[in-house]
Structure 1
């Protein structure tokens, strides 16, 4: 059996009685591999499933690891090819997702996608496990930029192989020769796929003249989040619209409906999301390096607030360029958020601090 060397230790067997050695070998890469799978697949659950397949395949194939490449490169090769297999399989078999039940008729969208997006939000608390090991705030910021919803949406529009090449080369920094080896292809094929992928993304991602999002938890970001929370919970459509860029988007995965511009979003908020008969409470969290909220609808007959999905803000400077509303309440669990909240009442009947 081929021996595996851990830093500062002699070569050891990674299987059998040395299963703990294998765990220690791969554990430092577990979270970054999950994020890699998430970037390519767009689903947290699918990414976790493929991660487990990757680790099992690595365990079974450890005998064939000859240490010509690093452990990290070897694991990324397995994970990337498992992701491509999963995408080929899902192309033949539709995603099984619970249908979103519409409460009211939705206004005509600005645009309809041909297929619904199964993109799911990624909790920032998991990203922290990667960013904490990187030097400097710039590196931490780049990790979050590479899982921003805008980048993820653009990635999902690429063919699977181009998607994998772009992530491996431009996000993770592998050399063309390494990527060619991972995908069992040539360096010329990798270079060609990367050129096409970059060209496609240039048409859909914000241009270089777009103001950058404020740093996470910066005073500027906190100010925008506080203003949005006050306006949203008060049902103040005009105040929310005033915070939007002229070309802002509102989307609701997995519904294939997109609303662009202040007028379209204003109409949607006034007639659907913030109509007079309903008010919501927002519980702050973070997703994909961006401000996010668990949404809860107030029940006027009881002190209970019911979960109503997750809302993610995409910022540019001190403005909001995108509102992304995920309606699947099961996503809240990954953010440590409950399915319902209870509102305490003061003696005069007014609400006070909510309890989870």
Structure 2
């Protein structure tokens, strides 16, 4: 079963939009599968595990609130506006490292299928429509296979897929990331070089900082906010490059070397179109990153 961990985690993550919950769902799937025992009469092992994982996710989604990105919660803020009251972790689409959800050997599944914006769109679907869209359009299952998993007809699957596509269409496209852009961003970020940071942004770029519902749109508003920021943790900070949600990301450590945020970027050609600064150090273990960059204190005796 272990060989299916990454793809099952990716499936559960698309369903739940939270990395910790996805890992919990896969662990519960393996526990249930081990207790039940597998035999060939249940069909292919992979399909059987997906059926168990689907039921686990559907159970977890009962009564759960819809997760979102800040840009989906309300209009953009004006420069100088307050951040607002923080929302609980369950309110947010949360980031996930690529190596836990994308198998490099899998040439079928697109990295775009774990982009934050697509996950947020999936959240608008009823759970079973979400299952159908992910299995059919992302993982390329046949309609008959999905029908068997859900215990329904191919006609019902096709109908559900049409409704789901109207809400959350999936059009995979591979995006080339400009490494020079990322290098310039890191340098400007750590030096709090506002001119360069703003120059790297797309005209309609957005920035947000969960758990706060505050977000900004446009270079002018982002510039004004950066120019009036006080107590910024960016100067002399450390950014550790990561890959998350099918794109570039960074583990942001404050000037004292303490875990501060996971930053995810969306880029288009040579510009940054979105930054999301996830202000939750509890995400660092999920990304296999230490909570501090400081050397451990050595004691004698």
* 8 Å contact kept, 2:189–2:234: no
CA offset at residue 171 of structure 1? 0.8
Question: d(CA) in 2 for partners of 1:246 and 1:275?
Answer: 26
* 8 Å contact kept, 1:50–1:79: yes
Structure 2 counterpart of 1:213, from 168, 175, 179 = 175
Secondary structure, in 3 states, of the residue corresponding to 2:258? strand
Question: d(CA) in 2 for partners of 1:330 and 1:90?
Answer: 21
CA offset at residue 63 of structure 1? 5.9
Check 1:313–1:78 CA distance in 2 against 1; reply closer, same or farther (3 A cut).
Answer: same
For residues 20-48 of structure 1, give each alpha carbon's deviation from its aligned partner in whole angstroms, at most 9, with x where no partner exists.
Answer: xxxxxx12212211111011101111111
Secondary structure, in 3 states, of the residue corresponding to 1:46? helix
Check 1:308–1:58 CA distance in 2 against 1; reply closer, same or farther (3 A cut).
Answer: same
CA offset at residue 226 of structure 1? 0.4
Equivalenced residues, count? 279
Question: d(CA) in 1 for partners of 2:130 and 2:123?
Answer: 7
Higher strand share: 1
Normalising by structure 2, report the TM-score: 0.82
CA offset at residue 158 of structure 1? 2.3
* 8 Å contact kept, 2:241–2:250: yes
* 8 Å contact kept, 1:119–1:254: no
Q: Which runs of 4+ in 1 moved over 4 A?
A: 274-278
Q: Quote the residue 1:266 is aligned against.
A: 223
Q: Quote the residue 1:173 is aligned against.
A: 140
* 8 Å contact kept, 1:214–1:318: no
Q: Which runs of 5+ in 2 are unaligned?
A: 67-78, 296-301
Relative contact order, CA 8 A, sep 6+: which one is greater? Answer: 2
1:123 partnered with 2:90: no
Secondary structure, in 3 states, of the residue corresponding to 2:282? helix
When the two chains are superposed, the root-mean-square deviation of aligned CA atoms in Å is: 3.0
Q: Quote the residue 1:230 is aligned against.
A: 187
Question: d(CA) in 1 for partners of 2:63 and 2:152?
Answer: 21
Q: How does 1:1-356 map to 2 (within 5 A)?
A: 26-62=1-37, 66-67=41-42, 69-91=43-65, 107=81, 117-127=91-101, 130-131=103-104, 133-134=105-106, 139=107, 142-202=109-169, 213-215=175-177, 221-272=178-229, 279=235, 280-298=237-255, 304-342=256-294
Question: d(CA) in 2 for partners of 1:246 and 1:198?
Answer: 29
Question: d(CA) in 1 for partners of 2:221 and 2:267?
Answer: 19
Question: d(CA) in 1 for partners of 2:250 and 2:188?
Answer: 14
Check 1:270–1:286 CA distance in 2 against 1; reply closer, same or farther (3 A cut).
Answer: farther
Secondary structure, in 3 states, of the residue corresponding to 1:314? strand
* 8 Å contact kept, 2:125–2:164: yes
